[in-house]
Structure 1
Amino acid sequence: MSFRDNVVKARSHFIFLAALSVGLLMVIALENKIGENTGAKVGAGAAFASPMSAFDDVTPLPLAVVGEVSQADQDYARIAWRYFENNTDPETGLVNSADQYPSTTMWETGSYFVAIISADLLGLIEAEEAKARISKTLDTLSGMRLFDGILPNKAYNVRTAELVDYSNKPVERGLGWSALDIARLVGTLGQVMQHYPELASQVNALLDHWDLSQMVEDGQLIGGNLSDGELRRDQEGRVGYGQYAAKAMMLFGYDMYRAYDAEEHLMVKDVLGQPIPVDDRLHRNVTPAFVVSEPYVFDGLEFGFDARSHRFATAIYRAQEARYTETGILTAVSESHLDEAPYFAYSSVWGGGAPWAVMSFQGERLDSKRTVTTKTAFAWYALFGTDYAKELVTTLAPLGDPERGWPEGLYETDGSTNGSTTTNTNAVILAALAFRAFGPLIRAEP
């Protein structure tokens, strides 16, 4: 048989080998592209590298539950509880989102429930007062008007329980619903039922009143947003917040398999030698996603870390400690209110495509507003109890006002006080102090 005949007979094998070679080159190219996105290097012949592999060498910091309430912790907690004494409306039972500002969201209402449970655990109030406060709020939540009769509006007037916009002005239809805010409240309702079984019937009646199925689709959270008078349904939740909210909804049996899966949209950025988990999607479909401490400290203080969130939280904390070690600048960053325009900012470990960016809702850089946040300092100290976290608390402790509560913290640029005083900050401080004595709130027992 001639050489030509042999080549003809073998042509199918050549085609297969050529296709295999092209396929191999495509796989290598894809892996290298993934490596670029995740910060991992993947070369020819290397095994496929999952973004999660970047956390293999992160040793979770041990938790720092001390098992008792010190006098200092009691004093700190009393300052935080004063905020709620000052800002709870006696008629509706709702709490101002910021000191003497009568507007609230479902997120902040959830924070109020966390504050009540923590205050009870710490002995600041009796169980009967805790139940009475929660019961009044549940009655209001059950009776107030919903957006399109479906779910709670994004904001409410604390005094009237009416639907409002973000400037606290009445709006007939509302703004839509925030699935993240509602999920955060749902998670705290699980904590309420754990600590006060007598209130379970009220909680169940409230959840029956809301159509939670409207905000869960294909294992993801779905928010409702008005656009030119039309309701638009958008996926909500990025890495960190998404997994925290998923845990909350799973308490009540909702399938959150995609929201809980951090890896689907995970990329990893190196910040001072630490792998930082970053979402590859845009925040609010506007700016590159950011990483703040908030969802991780909530997860640890309220639910208790899982293996993944413990590693993520450790890396995020260590990056902040490393920044202090390298620069001498105290660092405890998260989302926070501001006492001047634009009144809210995200102080990130990574955000907007860069480390340590501070951003507004619209994605404007506001690095001069970076705040050493009081809530983050107390939370890291409660969770990990490191010398650096202790130094943060020691530095911020003089800010506590026995007549008003704890402010947001110190502006990094000049050391002046960010005097905004809010529900979220004072609730996190109470939760942190309760955690030091009793561990995660959902299973804490006095």
Structure 2
Amino acid sequence: MKLKSNEKPAVELTDASPMAAFDDITPLSLAIVGETSQDDLAYAQIAWRYFENNTHPETGLVNSADKYPSTTMWETGSYFVAVISANLLGLIDEQEAKSRLSLTLDTLTKIRLFDDILPNKAYNVQTAELVNYANKPVERGLGWSALDIARLVGTLAQITQHYPELAPQVNALLDYWDLSQMVEDGQLIGGNLSDDMLRRDQEGRVGYGQYAAKAMMLFGFDMYRAYDAEEHLMIKDVLGQPIPVDDRLHRNVTPAFVVSEPYVFDGLEFGFDARSHRFATAIYKAQEARYTETGILTAVSESHLDEAPYFVYSSVWGGGAPWAVMTFQGDRLDSKRTVTTKTAFAWYALFGTEYAKELVTALAPLGDPDRGWPEGLYEADGSINGSVTTNTNAVVLAALAFRAFGPLIRSAQ
């Protein structure tokens, strides 16, 4: 609904108490758990095919994108989520799940670390060597991503809950990595090389920061500042919804942006807390409102592209405006906004709304039984964004497992 010039916005924005903007938000009811249809199982089988095609048999690592033999700790965590979800849904048996997880854990306990501290930002899937983002070997590495590692750490808790027999391997991995190096004063600290010197930088913005903090807290780390969303919170009104925006820069280029990603991960893996439930509700409702107002299907998040620059952040708000699509460098690229497959499946699993169901229905024909689920549809012309990735197919599996069993971190209890 568009506001007339003499109308006030639905959300009163104040600098004094940004959290007050959410006082009037009634969180959307969570979808009923225990629903699994034949369509769900067929969708899940398509997603699992991606992992059958892209797991390297010697290292247990998985290509970040179809046939591209590089990975990060974030994507390795996504693989763990995919394996657990596939087992829950009956696509693989428990023995295969444990065998896959055990092999990957064993590799992660042997890989060469950046400066013998923490995992490098990227690894070659076939050799487990340290590489740069072009998948070329680098002797020292690139540094470490605290967010990526924290995301994987959260999935380690899921592994120990579902498969207690693997706890010794998880513990050995945690002993091998010096996680204390990426936590300081309750915040996540990344390691970045600048002129061959290690620079330690705070990582995590509103949404991603709280999701990563939850993961680290599962293993006893004090993440009081990372979990506190209000310290750097500002509110931006998008179609009458209060959108939680971090007031800090992202990558020192553009103000931080808001995507669906960390909120759907939070809900699917941990189960929402009261705050993330309200934040996720507002972010979802803004996307539904855009569809209501324009007739354009909207399901935005970070996403890979099937052409240069190959990765963008499709935001609810970012770079000073709603619905901005941003590159790593902070440039606008709105022509590559994608109706993302993973976001559609996730919102439908979490909230079960008619609009989310419409999203899934629109994207369902894209599933390729031989390759997996692509990123989605380009909004500009309705063509397929044909990039096929670990993250998208893992989220599809996690969403379908959520529909049947609820959050992954609790479903084994």
TM-score range, shorter chain: over 0.9
Which of 357, 360, 379 lines up with 1:412 in the alignment? 379
1:430 corresponds to: 397
Structure 2 distance, partners of 1:135, 1:108, is 17
1:70 to partner: Cα distance? 1.1
- Kindly provide the CA deviation profile for residues 41-75 of structure 1, in whole angstroms up to 9, marking residues without a partner as x: 47xxxxxx411000001100011033132111000
Contact 1:121 1:445 in 2 (8 A): no
Counterpart of 1:240 in structure 2 is: 207
Aligned equivalent of 2:148? 181
3-state SS, counterpart of residue 441 of structure 1: coil
Quote the offset at 1:106 in angstroms. Answer: 0.1
* Partner deviation per Cα, 1:100-155 (whole Å, 9 max, x = no partner): 00000000000000000000000000000000000000000000100000000000
Counterpart in 1 of 2:283? Answer: 316
Pick aligned residue for 2:293 from 309, 326, 331: 326
Query: Contact between 1:82 and 1:405, CA under 8 Å: does it hold in 2?
Result: yes
| Matching residue of 1:25 | none
**Alpha-carbon distance between aligned partners in 2 of 1:68 and 1:387, rounded to the nearest angstrom:** 16
Distance 1:41-1:207 versus aligned 2 partners, 3 A rule: closer
Report the counterpart of residue 40 of structure 1 in structure 2: 13
Letter in structure 2 aligned against 1:435: F
Structure 1 segment 329-408 matched on structure 2, within 5 A: 329-408=296-375
Match of 1:264 in 2: 231
State the secondary structure of the residue aligned to 1:276: strand
Q: CA offsets per residue over residues 276-315 of structure 1, 9 Å max, x none?
A: 0000000112111000000000000000000000000000
Task: Report what 1:84 is aligned to.
Answer: 51
- The separation in 2 between residues aligned to 1:445 and 1:113, in whole angstroms, is 15
Count of residue pairs brought into register by the alignment: 403
Determine which of 58, 61, 81 is the counterpart of 2:28.
61
Normalised to the residue count of structure 2, the TM-score between the two structures is: 0.97
Alignment gaps of 5+ in structure 1: 1-37, 43-48
Does the CA-based 8 Å contact 2:339-2:379 persist in structure 1? Answer: yes
Identify the range of structure 1 (264-273 vs 278-287) with the bigger mean alpha-carbon deviation: 278-287
Native 8 Å contact 1:374 1:393 kept in 2: yes
Q: Is the 8 A contact 1:65 1:438 kept in 2?
A: no
Cα distance in 2 for partners of 1:155, 1:122 equals: 30
Larger CA Rg, structure 1 vs 2: 1
Instruction: Please give the alpha-carbon distance, in whole angstroms, between the structure 2 residues aligned to 1:257 and 1:66.
Output: 31
Establish whether residue 107 from structure 1 lines up as the match of residue 78 from structure 2: no
Provide the C-alpha distance between the structure 2 equivalents of 1:238 and 1:285, rounded to a whole number of angstroms.
12
1:200 alignment partner AA: A
TM-score with structure 1 setting the length: 0.89
Moved over 6 A (4+): none
Aligned to 2:172: 205
Task: Supply the distance in 2 between the matched residues of 1:286 and 1:233 (Cα, whole angstroms).
Answer: 18
Percent identity between matched residues is 87
Alignment partner of 1:143: what SS?
Answer: coil
1:193 aligns to 2:160 (yes or no): yes
Name the CA distance, whole Å, in 2 between partners of 1:353 and 1:137: 41
More helix by share: 1
2:265 paired residue among 295, 298, 303: 298
**Distance in 2 separating the partners of 1:138 and 1:41:** 47
Show the counterpart of 1:27. Answer: none
1:170 aligns with 2:143: no
Contact 2:13 2:236 survives alignment (8 Å): no
